C-alpha cells in the first residue's frame, strides 16, 4: 500500500508546497444541461480556493468526452485564451462540448506536463468533470480508462450542500489506498465572457490545504459544506513518474457541483 506516492511525491508536497493547492480546472458554470447545444469549457491551471496565482498551460495532450461509452474527441475545439486571476494572467484554453442526447457526458483532460520551477518537477493533472442532459443517468460512475482517475460514488452533477461526496481513486484501474487527497473550492468563479476571475465568495481557510486520506479500497469521503464547485486531487497517483529527465507528479483531479436544497 505504501506506493511511491507517500515515499516521494506526497511527502515532498507536504513539506514544500504552498499552503494552498494548485488545481487544473475544466470549468463551466452549470453541469446540468436542459437543451442540446455547445457547452463552453474553460481550461485553467490555477489556485482557485485562494483566488491566487495562475500558471501557464501548454497545449493539452488530450481532451475527450465519454457518452454511453462512446468517445467524443474535443481537441478540435481547443483554442488558447488568457485567463486573468486576481494576481496575474496565464495561458489557458477553451473548448466546447457538443451536447445532443440525454445522459451523462464525462469530460477528461490530459494537460501537457507543467514545469514547476520552485520544486524542479513536472506536474500533470489529469482532470475529470461531469455534465448531464435531461437528468438521465447513463454511466457517471464508469471509469474513463485514464492512467489515474477518481470514480465518483455519488452523482457528481448535483450533490446537495450539507451531504457528503465519496469517490474511489484508481491508478491503472486499481484502487489506491492511503493516498492524500487535496480538497478545493472555487472561491472566485471564472467569468465565461471575460476569462477573468469573478469576485471571491469566500476567503482562504486557515491552516492550508484541506486533506483527506483514501481508505483500503482507495475511497475517500468529504462532507460538502456549501454550494459551488468542489475539486479533489490526488498527487502523484498516476503511473508515470518521469518527464524529460525530471520527476513527474501525475495527478488525478475530479470536479463536482453542489447545490443548496431550496
Ligand atoms: Cu501551486
Q: 218 C-alpha vs ligand 1 centroid, how far in Å? A: 24
Other beta carbons less than 10 A from residue 22's beta carbon: 24
Q: Are strands 246-259 and 23-27 parallel, antiparallel or unpaired?
A: unpaired
Report the pLDDT averaged over residues 197-224. Answer: 94
Q: 38 C-alpha vs ligand 1 centroid, how far in Å? A: 31
Q: Which residues surround ligand 1, an ion (CB under 5 A)?
A: 22
Q: Tens of pLDDT along 76-89? A: 999 999 999 999 99
**Joined grid coordinates for residue 99:** 451536447
Q: 122 C-alpha vs ligand 1 centroid, how far in Å? A: 12
The H or E element that residue 150 is part of is strand 148-152
Which pLDDT value is given to residue 230?
98
- pLDDT for residue 4 is more than 60: no
Tell me which residue range forms the domain holding 59: 4-259
For the chain, what is the mean pLDDT? 93
Give CA–CA dist 214/252, Å, rounded.
13
- pLDDT for residue 12 is more than 60: no
Q: 167 C-alpha vs ligand 1 centroid, how far in Å? A: 23
Contact 99, 66 (CB under 8 A): no
Alpha carbon 72 to its chain centroid, in Å, reads 19
Q: Tens of pLDDT along 115-129? A: 999 999 999 999 999
Total domains in the chain come to: 1
Q: Tens of pLDDT along 33-80? A: 999 999 999 999 999 998 999 999 999 999 999 999 999 999 999 999
Q: Tens of pLDDT along 156-187? A: 999 999 999 999 999 999 999 999 999 999 99
Report the pLDDT averaged over residues 227-237. Answer: 98
Give CA–CA dist 231/183, Å, rounded.
6
Amino acid at each position: 500500500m505504501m506506493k511511491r506516492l507517500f515515499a516521494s511525491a506526497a511527502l515532498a508536497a507536504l513539506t514544500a508546497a504552498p499552503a494552498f493547492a494548485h488545481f487544473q480546472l475544466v470549468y463551466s458554470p452549470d453541469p446540468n444541461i436542459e437543451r442540446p447545444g455547445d457547452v463552453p469549457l474553460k481550461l485553467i491551471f490555477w489556485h482557485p480556493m485562494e483566488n491566487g496565482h495562475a500558471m501557464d498551460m501548454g497545449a493539452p495532450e488530450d481532451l475527450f468526452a465519454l457518452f454511453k461509452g462512446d468517445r467524443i474527441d474535443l481537441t478540435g475545439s481547443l483554442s488558447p485564451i488568457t485567463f486573468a486571476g486576481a494576481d496575474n494572467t496565464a495561458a489557458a484554453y477553451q473548448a466546447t462540448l457538443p451536447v445532443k442526447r440525454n445522459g451523462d457526458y464525462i469530460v477528461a483532460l490530459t494537460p501537457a506536463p507543467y514545469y514547476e520551477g520552485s520544486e524542479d518537477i513536472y506536474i500533470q493533472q489529469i482532470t475529470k468533470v461531469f455534465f448531464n442532459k435531461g437528468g438521465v443517468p447513463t454511466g457517471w460512475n464508469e471509469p474513463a480508462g485514464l492512467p489515474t482517475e477518481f470514480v465518483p460514488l455519488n452523482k457528481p452533477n448535483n450533490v446537495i450542500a450539507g451531504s457528503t461526496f465519496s469517490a474511489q481513486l484508481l491508478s491503472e484501474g486499481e484502487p489506491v489506498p492511503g493516498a492524500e487527497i487535496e480538497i478545493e473550492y472555487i472561491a472566485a468563479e471564472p467569468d465565461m465572457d471575460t476569462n477573468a476571475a469573478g469576485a471571491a465568495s469566500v476567503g482562504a481557510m486557515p491552516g492550508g490545504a484541506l486533506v483527506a486520506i483514501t481508505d483500503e479500497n482507495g475511497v475517500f469521503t468529504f462532507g460538502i459544506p456549501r454550494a459551488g464547485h468542489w475539486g479533489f486531487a490526488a498527487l502523484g497517483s498516476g503511473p508515470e513518474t518521469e518527464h524529460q529527465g525530471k520527476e513527474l507528479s501525475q495527478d488525478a483531479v475530479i470536479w463536482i457541483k453542489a447545490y443548496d436544497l431550496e
